[in-house]
Amino acid sequence: MTDALRVENVEGGYEPGLPILRGASLAVAPGEIVALLGPNGAGKSTLVKAAAGLVPVWSGRVVLGGRDITGVPAHRMVHEGLGFVPQTENVFANLSVLENLQLAAALIAKPRRRPLAEMFALFPDLDRQRRLTAGRLSGGQRQMLAVARALVASPAVLMLDEPSAGLSPKLVGVVFERLKAVRDTGVTILLVEQNVKAALAIADRAVVLVEGRERLEGRAADLADDPRMAALYLGAAAEAH
C-alpha cells in the first residue's frame, strides 16, 4: 500500500552550510497517527516545516500519497492535501473565529472544501465563539481552531507541531482526544511532540529523531517501555552539556 506521507533522506536547514536535517527519513501509513519524538534541537519541527515547504530541502524527497511534493511552495501544500498546524501563533489573532475558517475555505477548491458546519460539529467550543476575535480564545480553543482551519481543506495528512505546548495536562487530554476523532474521519496524522507520554498514548507508531536523523522507530505501545528511548533522550542531553 502507498504510504500517506514519506520523507526520504531529507537534508535541509535555514542557512546554507548549517544543516539541521541530516538525511532524515520516515513513513506514515494511511489512517495512522505517528508521533515524531526526539530531544530538544533534534530537528523535529524543522522536519515538518521542511515537509510543509517552509524550510528549504537541499536533497532528498517528500512524497505525499505517491506524488513528489518536494519544493512545492508552502501556499500550494493545502491543494496537494498536506495540512500543517504550526506550534505557536497558529491562528490569525486579528480575525474572528469564523473569518479564520472562511479564509481557509475560500482558498481551497470547492470539491475539497469541508463544510464549516462539520468543523463546528467536531469542535462545539468554536461554534459558541464564532464572532470572537481569535486572539481572545483560550489556549485550548486556539489549538482547536488551528486544527479546524487546517481540516477545512480536507488534508490527506495533517502535521501538527507540538499541539500540547502551553496547555494544562487536562487540556492536552481534551485536544488529543479531538485529534483521535479527526483521525477517525479519515485523516492521517503526524504529530511532533515533546510530551512523550501523551503522544505515545494516542499514537499508533513513533519515530525518534536525534541530530537530524531517525534513530528509533516502532509501535507506540512498545516504545513506551523501551529503555533505548530514555538512552536517546539522555544521550542527547549529555552531549549537549
Interface ranges with another protein (CB under 8 A): 13-15, 18, 20, 40-41, 43-46, 52-54, 73-79, 84, 86, 89-95, 99, 102-104, 106-108, 149-150, 153
The answer to whether residues 107 and 149 touch, using CB atoms and an 8 Å cutoff, is: no
Q: How far is the CB of 191 from another protein (least distance, A)?
A: 15
In angstroms, the CA 83 to CA 115 distance is 16
In angstroms, the CA 76 to CA 16 distance is 24
Q: What is the DSSP letter of 114?
A: P
**Pick 92 or 120: Cβ nearer another protein:** 92
The SS3 of residue 36 is: strand
In angstroms, the CA 159 to CA 42 distance is 17
**Pick 46 or 129: Cβ nearer another protein:** 46
**Pick 25 or 102: Cβ nearer another protein:** 102
**Pick 79 or 219: Cβ nearer another protein:** 79
Residues paired with 57 in a beta bridge:
12
**Pick 209 or 229: Cβ nearer another protein:** 209
Q: How far is the CB of 119 from another protein (least distance, A)?
A: 14
Q: How far is the CB of 219 from another protein (least distance, A)?
A: 26
Helix, strand, coil share of the chain (percent; to 5): 40, 25, 35
Q: How far is the CB of 28 from another protein (least distance, A)?
A: 19
**Pick 104 or 196: Cβ nearer another protein:** 104
Give, for 144, the enclosing helix (H) or strand (E).
helix 139-151
Quickly tell me which residue has 513513513 as its cell.
Answer: 27
Q: How far is the CB of 12 from another protein (least distance, A)?
A: 11
Q: Do the bridges between strand 57-64 and strand 67-68 make them parallel or antiparallel, or are there none, so unpaired? A: antiparallel
Q: How far is the CB of 85 from another protein (least distance, A)?
A: 8
Cell of 30: 494511511
The answer to whether residues 194 and 218 touch, using CB atoms and an 8 Å cutoff, is: no
Q: How far is the CB of 38 from another protein (least distance, A)?
A: 10
**Pick 46 or 195: Cβ nearer another protein:** 46
